[in-house]
Chains A and B, each alone.
Chain A
Amino acid sequence: MIKTDALIIGAGPTGLFTAHQLNIIGLKCEIVDNLDKIGGQCIELYPDKPIYDIPAVPECTGEELTNNLINQLKPFDIKFHLNERVDEVKNEKGYWHVKTNNGTVFYTPNVIIAGGVGSFEPRKFTPKECEQYEGKSIFYSIKDKNIFKDKTVSIFGGGDSALDWAVELSANSKVNLIHRRDEFRGAQSTLNKVYELEKEGRINLFTKYQLKNPRGNGKLDSIDIQNENKEIKNLKTDYVLGFFGLIMQLGPIANWGLNLNKKTIEVDTEKFETNQKGIYAVGDICSYPGKLKLILSGFHEGALAARACFKLARPDEKYRFEFTTSSSSILKRLGKKSD
């Protein structure tokens, strides 16, 4: 069990700057994120897109912003728990017990939700019948590629993940690659390789087709695919892989007893606290009258939530407002010499 002053859920820009604000005032924190990297939407959705409304930064990309925020955290010792999703939260005598899907347990008086529009989850196949095969014959990510050896694998999608896996698995498996149109968006070099392997008969390509129906009796044995003209083909297959990118879902947070407004969490504008004492929401996921979904608003919200955390983390001390330019204790925390 990890004991900390505050747990931040979400390693996007708001979560990162909130961590900075907590450490500046002398509080320790840990950060959990469902993605495998730091940066949230900035890294997952628009790493190369320029942002023009960060104060004092005329122009920077999502990736540059993330790197700058990570650099700003260098003086502090902050533990990141990536690839983990927070599943359960319960209160015991004023402390929150927070459990992730990997079994990590945090024990903290403060939980700050900086979850953007929720956690990123893979987009799934449309037909409801697919659910019974998920995790057995239908996958949205690959953990152990050895299970596909000498089997038939049908891969759906038109991006890099679909193309890369088609090429890789074709070495030891029979591969069907199915995509809803005849243009692919993956790297041209990989695409060339796919066409080459198709000529050699190592990959069967089906374009303008989508999954219509999985077939099998408890165990998947074939799939029906359909094109725009409603023509159906049946493909024998052992496994099905879907690579349709990620979608953002509020996920388990929806069951924490917080007041929700559509996909956002209602907070006050003094502490950015939810209806649960010690649980805060900052950034795109919070809502209050006048809320703007801007990164700069998330920074402000995080700064105020951090001050509210102080009271619960250090009940016997009094918080004193200080500037980074003049406070010797802040400079010490930053590892700088004071004059």
Chain B
Amino acid sequence: MPKITYVENNGKSHTVEIDKGLTVMEGAIQNNIPGIDGDCGGSMACATCHVYVKEEWYDKINEKSEGEDDMLDQAFEPNKFSRLSCQISVTDEIDGLIVDLPKKQ
């Protein structure tokens, strides 16, 4: 199973194995990772699963969905590596992905 690392804003790091086919948001919720809310359940309607993808991974993950940038406008402190983790699917290609979590959602 692909391993994903979530790094909380305080530096605490969680590496978990996530089933292929899930999203990075779902992986965080199922593993009780603090700092990702996913309030709308993955319908890209709330911007509470915002993450910063590590620079070296940014171009390797699937591209932004239509409307994702519109939602990211509403996220807390977005930057150029911001993504909604509900729109990143877990595949073998992203085994080892590291995402940083914002100060708050």
Residues of chain A at the chain B interface (Cβ within 8 Å): 41, 45-46, 49, 117, 123, 126, 157-159, 179-181, 183, 185, 210, 228, 244-245, 247-248, 263, 293
- Is A46 touching B69 in the complex (CB atoms < 8 A)? no
Identify the closest chain B residue to A117 (Cβ).
B39
Are B40 and A158 interface neighbours, CB within 8 A? Answer: no
**B79 is an interface residue with CB less than 8 A from chain A:** yes
Task: Check if B46 sits within 8 Å of A185, measured CB to CB.
Answer: no
Of B40, B45, B69, B78, which one neighbours A183 at CB under 8 angstroms?
A: B69
| A241 vs B70: C-alpha distance when bound (angstroms) | 19
Chain B residues proximal to chain A, CB less than 8 Å: 37, 39-41, 43, 45-48, 69-70, 73-74, 76-80, 105
Of the candidates B37, B40, B73, B76, the one having the most CB atoms from chain A within 10 angstroms of its own CB is B73
A242 CB → nearest B CB, Å? 11
| Distance from B35 Cβ to chain A, minimum over Cβ atoms (Å) | 12
| Contacts between chains A and B (CB distance < 8 A), count | 48
Chain A minimum-CB-distance residue to B82: A180
Given known contacts A244-B73, A244-B74, A45 and B40 CB-to-CB distance under 8 angstroms: yes
User: What's the nearest-Cβ distance from chain B to residue A198, in Å?
Assistant: 19
B43 neighbours in A (Cβ, 8 Å): 45-46, 49
Additional 14 contacts, C-beta under 8 A, given A41-B40, A126-B76? A41-B45, A46-B45, A157-B73, A159-B70, A159-B73, A181-B69, A181-B73, A183-B69, A210-B77, A228-B79, A247-B74, A247-B105, A248-B39, A248-B48
Q: Whole-angstrom distance between the alpha carbons of A212 and B43 in the complex?
A: 30
The residues of A that contact B73 with a CB separation of less than 8 Å are: 157-159, 179-181, 185, 244-245
Residues of A within 8 A of B76 (CB): 123, 126
Shortest Cβ gap from B53 to chain A (Å): 16
